[in-house]
Structure 1
C-alpha cells in the first residue's frame, strides 16, 4: 500500500483523456502506477500490435490516476491495475473508468486504505468458511501453518493476475460485479474446498501446501466454482458468518455499503445509463477493443453517478439485486 501523501486536492470535473499531464506530474502514486502498468504486458491479448498496446497502456495510466485524483481518500495498491486493465479492455475507456471509480468506492474499498488492516480483515473470512464446510480440511490447513497469504493476490486482483485465460477472468468478473463485495473470498474458500482431496493427500507443511494452493490448475471447472460459490453465500451469508465467529469485530466498508448500493442500482434502468454516456474522448480505444466481449447488459451501480455502470453478460444477471437482497 502506498503512504498517506499530501492533503486533499480539488476534484477534476473533466473526463478521462483531458488534464492527464498535470495529474501525472503531481500525483503521489504516479511512479508506482507507471511501473505496474509497464510490467503488465501479459494482461494484453497475444498478438496485439505494439503501437496499439502502447496506447492502451497510456490510457490505463490515465484511467487509474483519474480515479485516484477524484477520490484522494483512496490509496493505490499493487494489483489495482490488474482490475483496471480488465475493465479497459472489455468496456472501453469512458465506461471502464466509470466502472473502476464506482468499484473503488464500494467493492474494492477495503483494499484502498493507507494500511492493509482491512485487507487482512477480508482474508480473515477464508478459514471460517472452510471450517464451516470441512472441519478436517480446516484442521489440516491450521497444522500446516499455511495461513491465508496464498489467496491475497486472488482477492485484490479479482484473480486477474493469476489466471492466464482471459475468458475465465471475464467470467469471474461477471460474477463478482453483480455480487456481494465479499464474494471473491467466498470464491477462494470454495476453490480450496474443491481441491480438498488433493490437499489432504500432500505433506502437511507450509511450503508444500502453499505451493499447491498457489497454483490454480489450468483446467479448473469455473462454472462449477461459480455455482458452488453462490450456494456457499446462501448457506453462510456474511452477516450470519460474522455472528457465528470471531469476525463480528471486523469492519468492512465494502460490505457495509453494499445494501444501499444494491437498492440504488435496482432503480436504475440500463438503457438510461447507456444514454448518459457521452461521446468518447479524443484518445479512443482501437475499434477491435471496444466492448467486443462484454456488451450484452449494463447494470448501473450508483444512482448518484449516472455514468457509473457495469457491463456484465446476461449470465451474470442470474445473481442480480433481487437475489442479493436475500443475503441480508
Structure 2
C-alpha cells in the first residue's frame, strides 16, 4: 500500500513539473513573439514581466529590459574610460562597492568579481559625470550591480542612466526631501487596507525609515536571493515608478500577525520590520501590490493626505495616475471578471466595517495581476508614462 501511494505521489509530482515546464515554454514563446512583432509589443512585454515568474531568464531580460525603458541598443555608444582621480564621488563609491561582496553570486572567482566591481565603479561614475544634476546616494550601487550582473557593462550603463534620470530621479537630489515625500505614501496605503496595523505603527511611532533601503535600492540591498531581486526588477520596470512603495506596503500588511504581536515599541518594531523574511510569497505580494495601486492610485493618496503626503517631483507619474480614473478602472475590473471567470473561479470581495469606514479587502484572488483588469490598469499607467521617455523604437 505504501508503495502504491508513493508511486501515485511521484506520478502527480511528475505531472506538476511537466505542466510547469509547459507553461514556462509557452510564456517564453509569447515573450519572443512580442519582441519580434513590428512594432515591438511593449504592452505585452509589460504583462509578461508582471505575470507569474516574470521574464524567466537573464537572456530574455537582456532583450526585454531595454524595451521597458525605451533604450535602443543599436544607439548605445561604446563605453569610455573614466577619470577617477578628479571625480568627487569616487572615494564614496569605492567604499560602497568594496562592501558589496554579498551582491555577487556565491562561489564566483575573486578575479571575476574584482573585475565586475571595477566595472560597477565605472558605470556609476560615468552616469554621474554625464548627468551633473544627479547626486550619488548610498544604496545606488545596489541597483547598478543588478543591471551589471544581468546585462553587462555597456547595456547596463545605458539603462542605469535612463533609470537615474526618471525612476530614481528624486532619490538623486542634493537632499532627501523628495525621498521622504515618497516614503510618505506608505502609511496611507497601510491605513486604507488595515487600520489596526496602521494604528499600532502610529502608536509605536516607528515611522517609515525602516523601508528607506527597500525603496532606494528596489529591495536589492535587503534580499539575499538574487532570483527574488531580478523578479522584482521585472515587476518594477514594467510598472508605474511608484510601485516599489506599494510593494513595501504589502510586505508590512502580509506580516500583520508579527507586527501586532510585537512589543509596541519603536526600536522593537523597527527591528522587526527592517528584516525581511526569506520565505515571502513574492508572486502573491506582486499581485496584491498591483491591485492596491488600482484601488489607491498615488494621485488620490497625495490629494487626500496632503498634510503628510507631499506630491513628489514625479510630475509625469502623477499625470499618469490622474489620467487613470478610479471609476473607469473599477468598471473595467467588473467586466473583465465577468468575462474571464466561471462560477467556480470568481473572486469574492469582503467589505469590512472598521472604525466607521468601508475597507475593501480581497478575500480570494480569483485573478492574478497578470490576467485581471488590475494588470491592465497597471500596464496602461506605465505606458501612459512611457512616452515621456522619448520613445526610440518603431
Question: Partners of 1:234 and 1:100 in 2: how far apart?
Answer: 27
Paired residues of 2:185 and 2:309 also in contact (CA < 8 A): no
Instruction: Output aligned runs, 1:99-248, within 5 Å.
Output: 99-246=159-306
Question: Partners of 1:206 and 1:248 in 2: how far apart?
Answer: 20
Paired residues of 1:16 and 1:97 also in contact (CA < 8 A): no
Structure 1 residue 211: Cα displacement: 1.2
**Could you say what secondary structure the match of 2:85 adopts?**
helix
Q: Which whole-Å deviations, capped at 9, do the CAs of 1:42-77 have from their partners, x for residues lacking one?
A: 100011111111111111111001110110000000
The structure number with the bigger radius of gyration is: 2
Match of 1:47 among 94, 102, 107: 107
Question: Partners of 1:204 and 1:192 in 2: how far apart?
Answer: 15
Q: Which residue of 1 aligns with 2:71?
A: none
Paired residues of 2:301 and 2:309 also in contact (CA < 8 A): no
Q: Which residue of 1 aligns with 2:88?
A: 28
Match of 2:141 among 81, 84, 88: 81
Paired residues of 2:299 and 2:318 also in contact (CA < 8 A): no
Q: CA RMSD in A?
A: 2.4
Question: Partners of 2:162 and 2:308 in 1: how far apart?
Answer: 26
**Could you say what secondary structure the match of 1:207 adopts?**
helix
Question: Partners of 2:264 and 2:131 in 1: how far apart?
Answer: 44
Question: Partners of 1:125 and 1:322 in 2: how far apart?
Answer: 21
The number of residue pairs the alignment matches comes to 259
* Structure with a larger share of its residues in helix: 2
Instruction: Output aligned runs, 1:63-74, within 5 Å.
Output: 63-74=123-134
Q: Mark the runs of 5 or more structure 1 residues left unpaired by the alignment.
A: 1-12, 263-314
Paired residues of 2:243 and 2:293 also in contact (CA < 8 A): yes
Q: Which residue of 2 aligns with 1:18?
A: 80
Structure 1 residue 323: Cα displacement: 5.3
Match of 1:257 among 307, 310, 316: 316
Question: Partners of 2:207 and 2:380 in 1: how far apart?
Answer: 35
Structure 1 residue 247: Cα displacement: 5.9
**Could you say what secondary structure the match of 2:138 adopts?**
coil
Paired residues of 2:302 and 2:311 also in contact (CA < 8 A): no
CA 324–14 in structure 1, closer or farther in 2 if over 3 Å, else same: closer
Structure 1 residue 25: Cα displacement: 1.6
Q: Which residue of 2 aligns with 1:322?
A: 380
Q: Mark the runs of 5 or more structure 2 residues left unpaired by the alignment.
A: 1-74, 322-369, 386-394
CA 100–247 in structure 1, closer or farther in 2 if over 3 Å, else same: farther
Q: Which residue of 2 aligns with 1:277?
A: none
Question: Partners of 1:76 and 1:107 in 2: how far apart?
Answer: 15
Question: Partners of 1:217 and 1:101 in 2: how far apart?
Answer: 31
CA 217–249 in structure 1, closer or farther in 2 if over 3 Å, else same: closer
CA 260–146 in structure 1, closer or farther in 2 if over 3 Å, else same: closer
CA 40–240 in structure 1, closer or farther in 2 if over 3 Å, else same: same
**Could you say what secondary structure the match of 1:25 adopts?**
coil
CA 205–259 in structure 1, closer or farther in 2 if over 3 Å, else same: closer
Question: Partners of 1:83 and 1:14 in 2: how far apart?
Answer: 20
Question: Partners of 1:260 and 1:88 in 2: how far apart?
Answer: 31
Question: Partners of 2:113 and 2:186 in 1: how far apart?
Answer: 36
